Amino acid sequence: MLKYQAASFSGKIGRKGFLMRFSGKKEGREALLYIVTGVFTTLVNFFVFSLLDFGLARLGVAGRLAYKFAYAPAFLAAVLFAYWSNKLYVFQNKDMSLPRLLREFSAFLAARLFSGAVCFLLMILLVDIMELGHSLAWALSSVFNLGFNYLASKFWIFREKMHE
Per-residue pLDDT of the chain (164 residues; tens, 9 = 90+): 444 344 433 444 444 554 455 455 777 888 889 889 989 998 999 999 999 999 998 898 887 788 888 988 998 999 999 999 999 999 888 889 999 999 999 999 999 999 989 998 999 999 999 999 999 998 899 888 888 988 899 888 987 654 44
Please report the pLDDT score of residue 21 as a whole number: 52
Q: Give me the residue spans of the domains in the chain.
A: 19-163
Please report the pLDDT score of residue 8 as a whole number: 39
Q: Tell if the pTM clears 0.95, that is, is over it.
A: no
Please report the pLDDT score of residue 4 as a whole number: 39
The per-residue b/e assignment along 128-141, b for 16 or more CB within 10 angstroms, e otherwise, is eeeebebeebbebb
Closest by alpha carbon to 135, among 72, 36, 45? Answer: 45
